[in-house]
Amino acid sequence: QVQLVESGGGEVQPGGSLRLSCAASGFTFSAYAMSWFRQAPGKGLEWVSYISSGGGSTDYADSVKGRFAISRDTAKNTLYLQMNSLKPEDTAVYYCARRKRGTVRGATSESDHDYWGQGTQVTVSP
């Protein structure tokens, strides 16, 4: 069965860095675009970043552009999110998600994704 397992979260000071990983199994990882979402305390789910199935196309929410970098390693069936210059407002549970086949370019809503990981907590505080 499809499984997505995030890791790499933790507590970091403002300005620090973390790298999240999402280990994928149960499907052909290289055939699917993937996304990262996050949910801050008391807020709704927010799309963070997207990467195409081949890794050649990426996109970011304005709130993280220039600070976060998404990547994927097909040989390891793993998705990554490198987070630099972290801010307190980046505090959230981060989820990786598989984007449905056939979704239009730029699809970033929750309903455009069919499988989700369990999430990993990122806390940015002094």
Q: For residues 90 and 40, what is the distance between their CA atoms, to the nearest angstrom?
A: 8
- When the pLDDT of each residue in the chain is averaged and rounded to a whole number, the result is 96
Q: Which pLDDT tens digit goes with each residue over 51-78? A: 999 999 999 999 999 999 999 999 999 9
Q: φ, ψ for residue 125 (rounded to 5)?
A: -150, 155
Do residues 97 and 49 lie in contact, with contact meaning Cβ atoms separated by under 8 Å?
Answer: no
First to last CA, the chain: 40
Q: φ, ψ for residue 111 (rounded to 5)?
A: -70, -10
Do residues 115 and 101 lie in contact, with contact meaning Cβ atoms separated by under 8 Å?
Answer: no
* Residue 105, pLDDT score: 72
Percent of the chain exceeding pLDDT 70 equals 100
